[in-house]
Structure 1
Amino acid sequence: MKHFTRIAASLAVFVGIPAAAQDDTEPPPGPPPGIDMSDSVIDDTWVTLGIGAGLVPSYSGSDDTVFFPLPLIVGRVGGVGISPNGPGLNLDLLSQPPGQGPRGTSVSFGPSFRFRNDRDNRIKDDVVRAAGRLDTALEVGVNGGVSFPAMLHSFDSLSLSTSVRWDVLGAHEGMVIEPSVSYFTPLNRGSALQLALSAQIVDDNFADYYYSVSPDQSAASGLPLFEADGGLNSAGLTAIGTVDLDGNLLNGGWNIYAIAGYSRLMGDAKDTPYTAIRGSADQFIGGIGIAYTF
């Protein structure tokens, strides 16, 4: 399945992005009007905690959906930026508090951790379930990116990032590369929108583990044999919106976030019998959550 929690949880970072413009010497053009940085909760140390729920595919390639919990933690503690990565975390060792560090383009880099529990449970399709459950993977690697502020007006930004991770628990024993391009803009003082284009590239070990049908799996499920190779695994578009409940994103407190996304499986992820016969290459996600920033 696509990494629903990773993208949904990144919404909480929205409250911090406008703070980067606080040392403008002239009133900035464009939205949002009337921002006063004196009441910003985003400083050297801040944390957002939240919980939500969403509908995601039952497994990568499934046409059934299941509810998925969305716990959230994001912020900056001890000089280290923290952002969610599905059931996992990205850490930014180059994180700077608002008003410090260089203005303009900013760079992020740090370790990345993610649990992958695809087809380890909650498989709705009886045939796919008969093929057997898979082990949970722990992927460890690095995440880096660059952000360009003030693309169309003073408070928006365009970000490019890539994660590279390897499984260390001996499940798929492979490598995953996930590049993304995202655009953030506040809609007004109390709401914001992010659009993200992302892709996933996998190696042969990953593809074989999740998309091949072995002789034993074929005998158990009745699906035809299939040998999967790595390559471009998926690409998609996600829209994420947030609304602060008191109408001010900068002063912390309660906010509601929502997500809607579409991705298309490609290559052997699309051609595997788990997708082509029992599921669909078109993958949809949606969800909503509530968070508190302090």
Structure 2
Amino acid sequence: MRNPCLSAAIFGACLSALCAPSAFAQDAAASDNVYERDHLTIGVGAVYGPSYEGSNDERISPIPLVKGRYKGIEINPRTRGLAVNLIPSTRGAKVDFSAGPVFGVSFNRSRRIKDEVVRAAGKLDTAIEVGATAGVTVNRVLNPYDSFTVSADVKWDVNGAYGGMVWQPQVTYMTPLSKAMIVAVNARARHADGDYARYYYSVTPEQSLASGLPLYDAKSGWDSLGIGALVGYDLSGDLRDGGFALFGAVNYSAMLKDGKNTPYTALRGSADQWTVGAGIAYTF
């Protein structure tokens, strides 16, 4: 989930919960529950947050949403990407598993850089990321309708930008507050390999000469930790019948180690990354 608004990563995990309240709907007949049959959710949102990872300049960025299920195969949203679950869920199951490919695009420092010093260091290439995701969900943890999910994404850049690998474990708890309202809380961390760290956090001699920033040699490691929450509200008053739903989210991410100590963050930005956002989705 690497893009100009890193903190928007909460949307991918929590929108999956918002758009798939299957546990909440288990007391309804399958014919009355759009999520128990083939369906598609499309939507759009906007987030206000850092213009690049570690920036203290904010910008507004769109967040598209696509989620659905067809013959047991599920498509789940990620920030500027998607994941495919090839393991069908079982109605009424206590535990569900997920696994499949994941795809993403990173525009981190590739466009719309507000800081003139960071911009002088040069724009970076767009990364196209391909990998795998896997997870396990426990249903009915604290009440008959909630769920707790532990998952991880592993992705490699295949576009020759940073050319390395990142992996992100995360946990998500989802529970409905009523037939119309659902809440999801997500916590995650990210580990970047040396190729990623050098590309985004190092300051090379050429970049130092162009920007005036000091030289910096970044290494692999855990570079961010985040937590966020999302609230969704179905406009018809019942999440199970699909239709339009509104959502809002707030997220905090802390840059760690070289993500925090790089001059792009320490001298020109901030390790504290806040993002807020809202949007609308339609399910049919």
If the length of structure 2 is used for normalisation, what is the TM-score?
0.94
RMSD value over aligned CA atoms? 1.7
Q: Note closer, same or farther for the CA distance 1:72–1:82 as it changes in structure 2 (3 Å cut).
A: same
The answer to whether structure 1 residue 226 and structure 2 residue 186 are counterparts is: no
| Structure 2: stretches of 5+ with no match in the other structure | none
Could you tell me which residue of structure 2 aligns to residue 159 of structure 1?
A: 149
The answer to whether structure 1 residue 169 and structure 2 residue 164 are counterparts is: no
- Choose the corresponding residue for 2:85, options 70, 82, 92: 92
The answer to whether structure 1 residue 7 and structure 2 residue 11 are counterparts is: yes
- Choose the corresponding residue for 1:52, options 27, 45, 52: 45
- Choose the corresponding residue for 1:142, options 129, 132, 135: 132
5 Å-filtered alignment, 1:58-207, equals 58-96=51-89, 99=91, 103-207=93-197
Output one character per residue of 1:180-211: Cα deviation in whole Å (capped at 9) or x when no partner: 01100001110000000100100000000000
Distance 2:140 2:152 in 1: 21
2:55 corresponds to which letter in structure 1? S
Question: 1:37 touches 1:250 (CA, 8 Å); kept in 2?
Answer: no
Corresponding residue SS for 1:16: coil
Deviation, structure 1 residue 16: 2.7
Q: Note closer, same or farther for the CA distance 1:289–1:20 as it changes in structure 2 (3 Å cut).
A: closer
Output one character per residue of 1:46-103: Cα deviation in whole Å (capped at 9) or x when no partner: 110001111121000000111101111001124310011111110000023x63xx71
Question: 2:141 touches 2:147 (CA, 8 Å); kept in 1?
Answer: yes
Question: 2:75 touches 2:82 (CA, 8 Å); kept in 1?
Answer: yes
- Choose the corresponding residue for 2:234, options 244, 254, 267: 244
Question: 2:157 touches 2:163 (CA, 8 Å); kept in 1?
Answer: yes
Distance 1:3 1:15 in 2: 20
Distance 1:187 1:20 in 2: 10
Output one character per residue of 1:106-157: Cα deviation in whole Å (capped at 9) or x when no partner: 1000001111110000100000000000000111110000000111111011
The answer to whether structure 1 residue 269 and structure 2 residue 259 are counterparts is: yes
Q: Percent identity?
A: 44
Q: Note closer, same or farther for the CA distance 1:19–1:156 as it changes in structure 2 (3 Å cut).
A: closer
Q: Note closer, same or farther for the CA distance 1:21–1:257 as it changes in structure 2 (3 Å cut).
A: closer
Could you tell me which residue of structure 2 aligns to residue 28 of structure 1?
A: none
Distance 1:152 1:165 in 2: 33
Deviation, structure 1 residue 162: 0.3
Corresponding residue SS for 2:251: strand
Count of aligned pairs: 280
Q: Note closer, same or farther for the CA distance 1:103–1:77 as it changes in structure 2 (3 Å cut).
A: same
Question: 2:25 touches 2:240 (CA, 8 Å); kept in 1?
Answer: no
Distance 1:262 1:60 in 2: 12
Distance 1:52 1:268 in 2: 31
Runs of 4+ displaced beyond 6 Å: none
Output one character per residue of 1:223-267: Cα deviation in whole Å (capped at 9) or x when no partner: 000000010010010101100011101100000011100010001
Corresponding residue SS for 1:128: helix
- Mark the structure with the bigger radius of gyration: 1
Question: 1:9 touches 1:72 (CA, 8 Å); kept in 2?
Answer: no
2:105 corresponds to which letter in structure 1? F
Distance 2:190 2:62 in 1: 22
Distance 1:261 1:224 in 2: 31
Distance 1:71 1:253 in 2: 17
Question: 1:41 touches 1:252 (CA, 8 Å); kept in 2?
Answer: yes
Deviation, structure 1 residue 219: 0.4
